[in-house]
Structure formats: C-alpha cells, structure tokens
Amino acid sequence: MSLFRSPGLLLGGMLASLLSSIGSQALALEAPTGPVILVVSGNITETNLGNEAHFDHDMLQSLEQRETMTGTPWHEGKMTFKGPLGRSLLETVGAQGEIMRIDALNDYSASVPVEDFREHDVILAMSADNRRLRVRDHGPLFVIYPFDEEPSLLNEDVITRSVWQVKAIEIK
C-alpha cells in the first residue's frame, strides 16, 4: 500500500504541520519590559512592534552569549568583552538580507556584511571586564570582532564596522 494513499497519515501530516505553525507562533518575539536598547528593522521575519524587533537588556542577555578576551584600537591592554553573539541576534529576528546598516547614537553608521556575523564570533558587547558598558564608555552595545583570535580582522574595513554606542540595525 502506498503511504500517500493513507488518509490517516495525510491527516496526521496536516495536523503536525498545523501544530508546528502554532508552535512557531508561540515562539514569536516577546515584548520588551525594560528600556529598549536595540531596534532591529528591515528584512526580518520576527517582530514585536510594527515591522521592528525591539530588545531590552534582558532579551539581549537571553540570546546566546559569548566572551572574547582581546585588545582593540579603543582600549588599553586586553579586556574581556561579553554579550550576545551577532549570529544569535540575526537568527532570533529571522534576518534574510545580505547587508546590514548599523547605526550609533552619535549618528555614525556603518554598512556591514551579514556574512561577518555568520563567519566570525562577533559580539554585541554589553560589558567589558564584567562592567556594563555605559554610553560614556562606548556602550550600551559595542560591535566587537575577535581580533586576538583572528588577527587578520584588524584591518581598516573591520575597524569601520566596529560600531560603538549601537542603537539600531537595519537588515537590507
């Protein structure tokens, strides 16, 4: 007997796909409860306010975290930076595009290939040496590439992508 002719299996399959679509609805991005630190917009599938994904501190902390101990052009000696992986953020919002524009509080913005976050453990650092980054020390979010693990990243292009005081990311 062909499997495709079994009405029981067909119904089972439909039920399974219905349940999984309800399941993914339930996993849609929660709403922020604290001050919004980061707004992600553009070519994304997961949103929580209009077409945008708004993140507060706790939501960012609940993404997959990474630490890297590295020197940077902005810090004396090595520091341990910690925060969500850029890759985890992209997955959470369902980013579809190839390029993102990362905007800072000081109106600086940089164009960054989405690939960078997929290929390297780029961190949206929220702390350095366990201290929360304040706006005055380049916070609340600082795009940190793992320069010490991958010294070839220390080049002019990547340095211009190392946006500090990040407030928004638009996926293009």
Ligand X SMILES: Nc1nc2c(c(=O)[nH]1)N[C@H]1C(S)=C(S)[C@@H](COP(=O)(O)O)O[C@H]1N2
Positions in the binding site for ligand X (CB under 6 A): 74, 104, 106, 108, 159-160, 162-165
Q: Which residues pair with 56 in a beta bridge?
A: 36
DSSP secondary structure letters along 15-46: HHHHHHHHHHHHTSPPPP-S-EEEEEEES-S-
Question: How many residues bind Mo ion, per CB under 5 A?
Answer: 1
User: If we measure between CA atoms, which residue out of 56, 29, 53 comes closest to residue 40?
Assistant: 53
| Of 152 and 156, CB closest to ligand X | 156
Contact 150, 70 (CB under 8 A): no
| Of 39 and 47, CB closest to ligand X | 39
| Of 17 and 111, CB closest to ligand X | 111
> How near is the Cβ of 164 to Mo ion at its closest, in Å?
12
Helix or strand holding residue 82 (H, E): strand 75-84
- Say which entry of ligand X, Mo ion, none residue 108 contacts (CB below 5 to 8 A, set by partner kind): ligand X
- Say which entry of ligand X, Mo ion, none residue 89 contacts (CB below 5 to 8 A, set by partner kind): none
> How near is the Cβ of 154 to Mo ion at its closest, in Å?
13
Q: 85: which DSSP letter?
A: B
Where do contacts with Mo ion occur on this chain (CB under 5 A)? 160
